[in-house]
Structure 1
Amino acid sequence: MALEFVGTVRAVRSGLVDTLADVAGMTAWGRAHAAELGIGPDFTATEELRREVVELRQAVRALFARAVAPAPPSSADAHRLPGFAEALALVNAAALAVPVAARLEWPEGGVPAARNVPADGADESARIRAVLASAAIALLAGPDRERLRVCPAPRCVLYFIKEHARQEWCSTGCGNRARAARHYRRHGSG
């Protein structure tokens, strides 16, 4: 969840795209992740909620940048990230604002699973931010932090978890673009 959250800033051919740039984008992203966020399928974001979630995302991206150091951070927004202490405080405050409890989920015909969800009583923005902050904390405090990388492919700004020793890029597409760019730098286009 934390990787999907920070991946709401990504690069396309025309430049950077921020999925959470407006209320409609935040609403669509929230609905697409409703189960993980503990919200209903009819979720509709407000501008205030969107701003709070984006502020949290920038804090998580700052912590990811620190986690991949001394490698460079994602070039998407490194110049706009909050300082480390501010980011750490914001993520911790968001996670602590809403208590979480284990909930048993047992889909028809499926296997039971436990999932931590925010306790009721807090407002929707606080609950969403608590889930996202807790996911970031789990990733950064767990063994995956050592495998967290920034994709070095041209124009890519994503963070990813390195799944095997030879993995260099976030996706096959990025690997292909990086190899093609290297080929054209060495041999020219003609």
Structure 2
Amino acid sequence: MRLRLHGVVRAEHPVPTGVRLVTWEDLAVVVSEVPDGRSLGVDDAMAHLQMLCGMVTNGPVVPLRFGTFADDEAAIPVEVLKPSATTLRGHLDRLDGLVEVHVYLRSPQWGEDALAPVAALARESVSLPGTARRAFLLPLADVETARAAVAGHAAEFVAPLPAYSFLAPAAASRWGW
């Protein structure tokens, strides 16, 4: 049985059924068990994202790349948490109370003016490469206000998301942060 790693949270973070925490000091990795030889598919990727999205409503989550595995529980504190503890704590502190929001305006006529109310609420924003989407880092409490602000503008609004777009470049670690 291998362990699939989903994200890093604080050790007291509540988790949904079907996953558990592997802790080290004040940090934890959210894990689930996967039978040896089982390959992951699109449904697994969607479940991974949905689970992380649900978890961000209870506190910050540093998401790990989909398909990240550990051979055993003992490796997680040694290989994941301890070597990156300072970075992980920094991410969790910075993301506390914040979530990522994606907005795609399907009609170009609306332009940046339609995004201005969302941008005003955001701590940070980035254009997502290869898409016409913008990502915003918003306080969780402002997500519905932002959704309402673009509701009449033929917009696709996706939230809350873990803050994938607002972490250090993925090249910094094989784990995704």
TM-score (norm 1): 0.27
- The structure number with the bigger radius of gyration is 1
Name the TM-score, length of structure 2 as normaliser.
0.28
Q: Which has the higher helix share?
A: 1
More strand by share: 2
